[in-house]
Amino acid sequence: MKKVFYLLPLFLFFLFIKSFAFKVEALKVIYRDDVRKFLGFPINVKIDTEHFNFYVIDSPKAKIIFYNFNFVPFFSLGKGRNIISPVAMDIDKDGYMYIYQSSFYRKPPRISILNPLGIIEKEILLNKEPLNLQVASLAVDKKYLYLVGDNFSGAIILDKKTGKIVKRIKILDKVVSSLKEVTLRDVYIDRKGRVYFLSEEAGRFYVYDSRLKFLFKGGEKGGSFGKLSRPKAIAASPELGIIVVMDYMRHSGLVYDYKDGKFLGEFGGKGWLPGWFQGPMDVDIDREGRIYVADSFNRRIQVLILRSGETEGIWAPSFVTPLRPVK
C-alpha cells in the first residue's frame, strides 16, 4: 500500500505531462544553403507569405538565404549587396526587407532597407542619440518599424519612411520580486496586425492589438515544464489559434491559446533527431500552420506540424538516448 502511495505523485506527474505534450511531425529538416554548403549557425527565420518564400540569417556566413515554399534554396544576400553583419530582419507586404546589421569595423549599427530587387535604398544609423541602440529583433507593419534590444527597456517605434521615433512602449512587470521596466528579446506582428513583445528576463510575453492597445500577457518564469527559462522567440498563427514561444535553455517550444495566452502544452526537448532541438533561436508560422524553427546549435531549420494534444506515450529524454519516446 505504501508503494502505491509513493508512486501516485509520479503517476499524476506523467499524466499531467501527457495531457499537455504536443506530438510534432517534421515535414522538412534543412541543413544546406543556396550553394549546397552546410548551415553554420542559423539565428533568424522569417516567412514572406505574400511572395511564397522564407528567409534565413546564417550568422557565421553573414548572409541571408532565400528558400521557396518547397524548401529549395535559390538565392542569398551577402557582402556583394553590402549585407555584412545581419542579426534580425522582417519583410513588409510590398517586398521591402528591413535588416538590422550590427557594427562591423567602421560600419555602425544600422537598419538597411532593401527593395524587392535586393538593393539597399536607405539605411537608418543607430550609433547616435536618440537611436544609440543594440537591436535584438525588429518587426514591420504598414507604417511603423518596431525595435527591441539589449541596451534599452521596452520597445521603440520608428516611422518607416523617415526613421524618426514615433513612440516608446514601456512595460512594467515583476522580475524576481521587484517591479521594473523589462527589456524585450523579440517582437512579432501576426497576419491580423497583433503585436507581440517577448521578455527573456521576465519570462513573459505581452500582446497588443494593431492600435497598440494592451490585450493580455502570458507565460511564467521558471525552468520546469510549462515555464519559460530563457525564451528567445515568439510567433503566432491566427489560423491555428496558437502562440508559440521557443525556449533556448529548455530546448522546447511552448504553445499558448491565441485568445487569452493560456498555456496549452509544449513540444520538443534536447536532442538532434527531427522534432528535437539544441538552443533554438527563432520561430515563425506560415498560413498553412507550418512552424519554422531556427534550431541553431543543430545547425538547421526544422519545418514542423503540431498534430494533436496527446502523444503515444510520454515524449521525454531517456537515460540511454535523448531521442527515444518513453512508453
Its sign, for the CA torsion 126, 129, 131, 136, is: positive
CATH code matching the domain that covers 25-304, chosen among 2.60.40.10, 1.10.730.10, 3.90.1010.10, 2.120.10.30: 2.120.10.30
pTM of the model: 0.88
Cell 508503494 sits on residue: 3
Please give the chain's pLDDT, 327 residues, in tens: 555 555 555 544 444 444 477 888 999 999 999 999 999 999 999 999 888 899 999 999 999 999 998 999 999 999 999 999 999 999 999 999 999 999 988 889 999 999 999 999 999 999 877 777 889 999 999 999 999 998 899 999 999 989 999 999 999 998 888 889 999 999 999 999 999 999 999 999 999 999 999 999 999 999 999 999 999 999 999 999 999 999 999 999 999 999 999 999 999 999 999 999 999 999 999 999 999 999 999 999 999 998 764 444 333 333 223 333 333
- Is 120:113 a contact under the CB 8 Å cutoff? yes
Contacts of residues 175-181 at CB distance under 8 Å and 24 or more positions apart, as own/partner, are 175/201, 175/202, 180/153, 181/153, 181/154
Domain boundaries, the chain: 25-304
Cβ-based burial of 161 (10 A; exposed 0-12, middle 13-18, buried ≥19): exposed
What the block records as the C-alpha cell of 210 is 494593431
- Is 137:187 a contact under the CB 8 Å cutoff? yes
